Amino acid sequence: MKEVTASAPGKLMLFGEHSVVYGFPSIVTAVDQRLRVRVSNTREAAFSVHAPDVGVDNYKKSISELGSEKIPKGVAFLEMLYKRFIEQSKIKTGIQVETSSDFSSEFGFGSSSAVTVAFAKALTEFHEVPVSNEELFRLCYQAVLDVQGVGSGFDLAAAIWGGTIYYVKPARIVELLSANELPVVVGYTGIKANTVPLVRMVEEKKNTDPTKINQIFEQVTTIVELAKTAILAADWQKVGILMSENQLLLQELGVSSTELNTLIDSAKAAGAFGAKLSGAGGGDCMIAVTDIEHRDAVEEHIEHAHGKVLNVQTSAQGVRVE
Ligand code: PMV
């Protein structure tokens, strides 16, 4: 039996969420929590998926019906990607897909984007179709837009290129800022964020009051540019201060939450250089920048404020064949 396995990392947004959707720059880091996808051949002209981590048990669909009817959430990105792949490559064979994850899809580490990228890589390797990172991005981005209609693709870029990157959609700029571990602590609120409604909410606000929202996005962009310079210079105090400034703007945008604010305040009270939410807001994770002297206190304060400290390494390697 022929088979190929590929893995891709999760991500954490460091700067520029929401404004990135409108073409402004952002900074994202890949995290060492990986998603693995194994692709193998099957005699049937069917697309089969086994993804126990997201509750998908031996899902099967004939190739001719891909994309039709209701698709379970855990399969949607894979199925739309396979549909796109068939359209473009004209390779119509059946395939068996199996996924496994180092992390819970609850954390907001981007399990959907990581699984899409790992699958695209495994699939193209399996069929010996050489693809550049840019081609891989285009294939995955189409599938993501097919499924959820919105998104900047920052999470796909992190999964493909890895490291800590400066990103402008749709992978128009991908610039590596650091391949080293960043001095951050990550706290999980225990609440699953719902990205698409939050993106839609910001869109509505932008339609209602474009001047105000554009002003916020421009201020965020100034912060992103300063953060880029600070990361390149490894000036972590500055990076932390900029995170706190970005957080204030996200609060103004209305996407933070009491739980996120509590964890952010507790990290800062424990001596972190600065902190902010990471991602769409409403829940998922916050991120704090700290020096080594304050690290334990920052972690303890986050736990004390009912957050869960997640042990992740940043600037992880991008997609790879295992
Ligand atoms: O909720 P997450 O971690 O997928 O982050 C969403 C970030 C947004 O900028 C709000 C949306 C996007 O696609 O960039």
- 164, exposed or middle or buried, with CB in 10 Å at 0-12, 13-18, 19+? buried
DSSP assignment of 241-281:
HHHHHHHHHHHHHT---HHHHHHHHHHHHTT-SEEEEESSS
H or E element, residue 303: helix 292-304
Please choose from 11, 13, 140 the residue to mutate so as to test ligand 1's pocket, defined by most ligand atoms within 8 A of CB: 13
Q: Which of 155, 209, 235, 284 is catalytic?
A: 155
Sorted by sequence, the CB contacts under 8 Å of residue 314 that are 6+ apart come out as 12, 29, 30, 31, 32, 164, 181, 182, 184
* Each residue's pLDDT expressed in tens, for the chain with a length of 322 residues: 899 999 999 999 999 999 999 999 999 999 999 999 999 999 888 999 999 988 899 899 999 999 988 898 889 999 999 999 999 998 888 999 999 999 888 888 989 999 999 999 999 999 999 999 999 999 999 999 999 999 999 999 999 999 999 999 999 999 999 999 999 999 999 999 999 999 999 999 999 999 999 999 999 999 999 999 999 999 999 999 999 999 999 999 999 999 999 999 999 999 999 999 999 999 999 999 999 999 999 999 999 999 999 999 999 999 999 9
Cβ–ligand 1 contact at 112 (below 6 Å): no
- Report the C-alpha gap between 67 and 165 in whole angstroms: 32
Identity of residue 2: K
Q: Is 240 exposed, middle or buried (0-12, 13-18, 19+ CB in 10 A)?
A: buried
What is the bridge-based pairing of β-strands 95-101 and 56-62? unpaired
What's the burial of 64, exposed, middle or buried (CB within 10 Å: 0-12/13-18/19+)?
exposed
Whole-prediction pTM: 0.97
Q: Where are the alpha helices (DSSP H) in 61-188?
A: 73-89, 111-126, 133-148, 154-161
Nearest-atom number in ligand 1 for the CA of 153 is 13
Which residue in this structure is represented by tokens 């997609």? 319
CA of 298 to the centre of ligand 1 (A): 25
What order do you get walking across the sheet with 308-310 strand by strand?
274-278, 285-289, 184-188, 308-310
Q: How far is CA 68 from CA 4, 23, 121, 165, in A?
A: 27, 32, 24, 36
Could you confirm whether 155 is annotated as catalytic?
yes
Query: Distances in Å between the alpha carbon of 195 and those of 115, 150, 151?
Result: 17, 9, 9
